[in-house]
Amino acid sequence: DGGITQSPKYLFRKEGQNVTLSCEQNLNHDAMYWYRQDPGQGLRLIYYSQIVNDFQKGDIAEGYSVSREKKESFPLTVTSAQKNPTAFYLCARSVGGSSYNEQFFGPGTRLTVL
C-alpha cells in the first residue's frame, strides 16, 4: 500500500465526537498529505506537511486538524465542527514536497458518522 499504513479501515463515530485517523509511513519521506474523497468525486486536499512540525491548509481544512511531530506520522483529527464528516479519507506521501513528485497513497479509512 505505497509504504503508508492507515488505520482503521472502517470507523464509525457518533455525531459530535472528535475522531483521529492514523497515518504512518516507513520510507523516510518528507511530504505527507490528507485527502478526502466523496462518492463520485475527486480527491480534495485537506492538509499537507512538507517537514516535521510544519503543515499547511489545503482546500477544505475547516473542521479538521493535523500534527506532524514525527516524520513518519501525520494523524488527522476530524472535529465536531466538520459539518459532513462521512467520507473516505486517504493519506499520501511523496519523496519531496514538490508537485512534480508522484504521490503514494495508503489504503484509506472509511469514516461513517452516525
Partner 1 sequence: GQQVMQIPQYQHVQEGEDFTTYCNSSTTLSNIQWYKQRPGGHPVFLIQLVKSGEVKKQKRLTFQFGEAKKNSSLHITATQTTDVGTYFCAASFGNEKLTFGTGTRLTIIP
89 binds partner 1 (CB under 8 A): no
The size of the interface with partner 1 (CB under 8 A), counted in residues, is 25
Interacting residue with partner 1 among 15, 54, 69, 102 (CB under 8 A): 102
Under rule CB under 8 A, residue 43 binds partner 1? yes
Is 27:72 a contact under the CB 8 Å cutoff? Answer: no
80 binds partner 1 (CB under 8 A): no
d(CA 80, CA 84): 9
d(CA 76, CA 95): 20
Q: State yes or no: residue 106 binds partner 1 (CB under 8 A).
A: yes
